[in-house]
Amino acid sequence: MTRGRFKDIIMDSTKIKALAFDVFGTVVDWRGSIIREGKELGREKGVMDIDWGRFADAWRRGYRPAMDRVRSGEGAWENIDGLHRRILDSLLEKYSIKGLCETEIDHFNRAWHRLDPWPDAIQGLHRLRRKYICATLSNGNVALLVNMAKYAGLIWDCILSAELFRHYKPDPQVYQGAARLLGIRTDALLMVAAHKNDLLAARAAGCKTAFIPRPLEYGPENVPDIKPDPEFDITANDFNLLADQMGA
Amino acid sequence: MTRGRFKDIIMDSTKIKALAFDVFGTVVDWRGSIIREGKELGREKGVMDIDWGRFADAWRRGYRPAMDRVRSGEGAWENIDGLHRRILDSLLEKYSIKGLCETEIDHFNRAWHRLDPWPDAIQGLHRLRRKYICATLSNGNVALLVNMAKYAGLIWDCILSAELFRHYKPDPQVYQGAARLLGIRTDALLMVAAHKNDLLAARAAGCKTAFIPRPLEYGPENVPDIKPDPEFDITANDFNLLADQMGA
């Protein structure tokens, strides 16, 4: 629907040189993957009565306040593996999941390194890479993003992470740092995300924005805000449609 | 020749999880590529009487003292694009190459973003990526490495650069920082390089080492030190032979 407007942008100056992708929810289905990993753990450990969807939601919900403590300066820098682990420790207690050794807890914590891509992600990214530099730009740490790409078969031109800037999104340092490392102006960087707050912060930092609604991110019963918004330069329902709109 | 010793390492504990590749000279033929770019510039600008091999050598020679000024703290941090540009400015004067506009000088400076891989590099890397995480670990800046990979058709799991650590190799912070970002122990990281000083520094920082002699790096008349050295964990004459030895 914003085809006309976006065409103006790329025809105007072929300004967009690189795409920066949010990852959790935008590229990969974290909730479905955590449910899969939870069920596997449950089978192995004989813990069968857990609603892993709610477990996944709680794990994810803990992430924002944990990051905000780092963002506000209240907590020292800690990467997402570390933040995920603190939240997991409290959830294991809350759900009375017992009898896991350190190796097993660490393996489960790294479920976030083994997230499955949305069905359009691999092909769409492959097409977009033919024409643009495609980088991650995630709050996930570098190791998590590298391992996930390997697991999921995603190919990136560059792994960029909040960890490199010691600032979490939506701090402007992340978006501006990505453009700087890629050697381009911020307005030559298109932030691609399923979350409006990420895009609004990217836009405030000087980037272009592409909104990819992912209605199933929080499960079939919790549809997030997927209303198109003319504030964003482009809206596309998946990565293939984004590639169509961007001539890739 | 070090097959036995290396096999012990990987059989011992399957310790090696990731490979970090030096790039200039190890993955790509910088000298041949700069000669190609110089000749192209010469044809366009009618500058025909330049020995571009010697020009390339001088450009490359300037890089070590320029980096050392940063390493010693004498100069502020500056990325390789910046260091290359200072050296280029002085070479353009020395060789009396005149009449280039800023855009042309900048384009020529970015010849270092358009370096051709050695003949074995793409296939060998493809094989190694099936079994190991393969990252760059270069003094080249991130944008340079991303653009070069795109130009050359190299696929990396991760672009790691001295720029991320604000330290140039052979400072230990670079090798240790790479292992930290990849979430592995330094002795699970195999540094792959054509240069012994790089490998010795990696080893001192705790990494494993693979020596890939590149006899033609400095042109057919200036063969560098390519003598195998038992100090290194592995020696292989190209990336395919490295993949053979590593079971990839």
Q: What is the ipTM score, two decimals?
A: 0.93
Residues of A in contact with B177 (CB under 8 A): none
Give the CATH number of the domain where residue B69 resides.
1.10.150.240
Query: Based on the domain organization, do B18 and B126 belong to the same domain?
Result: yes
List the single best residue of B181, B182, B185, B186 to mutate versus A (max A Cβ within 10 A). B181
Tell me the residue range of the domain where B175 lies. 3-29+116-245
Minimum distance, in Å, between the CA of residue B50 and any CA atom of chain A: 30
Query: Based on the domain organization, do B143 and B237 belong to the same domain?
Result: yes
pLDDT category, B125, cuts 50, 70, 90? very high
Give the mean model confidence (pLDDT) for residues A205-226.
Answer: 96
Residues of B in contact with A149 (CB under 8 A): 157
Helix-strand-coil percent breakdown of chain A, rounded to 5?
Answer: 50, 10, 35
CA distance B54 to B145: 24
Give the CATH number of the domain where residue A157 resides.
3.40.50.1000
Minimum distance, in Å, between the CA of residue B91 and any CA atom of chain A: 24
What's residue A15's pLDDT? 87
Give the mean model confidence (pLDDT) for residues A202-227.
Answer: 96
CA distance B79 to A200: 30
Q: What is the pTM of this model?
A: 0.94
pLDDT in tens, A60-76: 999 999 999 999 999 89
Residues of A in contact with B77 (CB under 8 A): none
CA distance B39 to B191: 34
pLDDT in tens, B177-221: 999 999 999 999 999 999 999 999 999 999 999 999 999 999 999
Query: Domain boundary residue among A113, A138, A164?
Result: A113
Minimum distance, in Å, between the CA of residue B226 and any CA atom of chain A: 32
Query: Based on the domain organization, do A125 and A20 belong to the same domain?
Result: yes
Cβ distance of A159 and B159 shorter than 8 Å: yes
Average pLDDT across chain A, whole number: 93
Cβ distance of B141 and A81 shorter than 8 Å: no
What's residue B47's pLDDT? 86
Query: Based on the domain organization, do B241 and B187 belong to the same domain?
Result: yes
Element at B37 (helix H, strand E): helix B30-45
Residues of A in contact with B81 (CB under 8 A): 183
- Does the pLDDT value for residue A232 go beyond 80? yes
Minimum distance, in Å, between the CA of residue A13 and any CA atom of chain B: 17
CA distance A155 to B40: 33
Average pLDDT across chain B, whole number: 93
Query: Based on the domain organization, do B126 and B223 belong to the same domain?
Result: yes
Q: Does A147 touch chain B (CB under 8 A)?
A: yes
Q: Does B133 touch chain A (CB under 8 A)?
A: yes
User: Of chain B residues 42-101, which have a CB less than 8 A from chain A?
Assistant: 81
Minimum distance, in Å, between the CA of residue A230 and any CA atom of chain B: 31
Residues of B in contact with A106 (CB under 8 A): none
Cβ distance of B143 and A81 shorter than 8 Å: no
Q: Does B200 touch chain A (CB under 8 A)?
A: no
Minimum distance, in Å, between the CA of residue B229 and any CA atom of chain A: 32
Query: Based on the domain organization, do B132 and B211 belong to the same domain?
Result: yes
Q: What is the largest CA-CA distance in chain B?
A: 61
* CB-based contact B142:B164 (threshold 8 Å): yes
Q: Name which of A81, A150, A182 is nearest B142 (Cβ-Cβ).
A: A182
Total of domains in chain A: 2
What's residue B14's pLDDT? 55
Q: Name which of A133, A143, A181 is nearest B183 (Cβ-Cβ).
A: A143
Query: Based on the domain organization, do B161 and B232 belong to the same domain?
Result: yes
- Does the pLDDT value for residue B3 go beyond 50? no
A41: helix, strand or coil = helix
Query: Domain boundary residue among A113, A144, A170?
Result: A113
Q: Does B144 touch chain A (CB under 8 A)?
A: yes
- Does the pLDDT value for residue A192 go beyond 80? yes
State percent of chain B over pLDDT 90.
Answer: 90
Residues of B in contact with A162 (CB under 8 A): none
* CB-based contact B109:B85 (threshold 8 Å): yes
Query: Based on the domain organization, do A200 and A215 belong to the same domain?
Result: yes
Query: Based on the domain organization, do B92 and B123 belong to the same domain?
Result: no
Strands A116-117 and A28-29 come out as antiparallel
Give the mean model confidence (pLDDT) for residues B102-124.
Answer: 97
Query: Domain boundary residue among B68, B84, B113?
Result: B113
Q: Name which of B159, B181, B183 is nearest A158 (Cβ-Cβ).
A: B159
- Does the pLDDT value for residue B44 go beyond 60? yes
Q: Name which of A133, A141, A142 is nearest B146 (Cβ-Cβ).
A: A133
Count of CB pairs separated by less than 8 Å, A with B: 53
Query: Based on the domain organization, do A56 and A98 belong to the same domain?
Result: yes
What's residue A10's pLDDT? 45
Q: Name which of A143, A164, A184 is nearest B164 (Cβ-Cβ).
A: A164
Query: Based on the domain organization, do B54 and B94 belong to the same domain?
Result: yes
Query: Based on the domain organization, do B103 and B87 belong to the same domain?
Result: yes
* CB-based contact A103:A21 (threshold 8 Å): no
Cβ distance of A181 and B158 shorter than 8 Å: no
CA distance A135 to A165: 15
- Select from A61, A69, A68 the least CA-distant residue to A91: A61
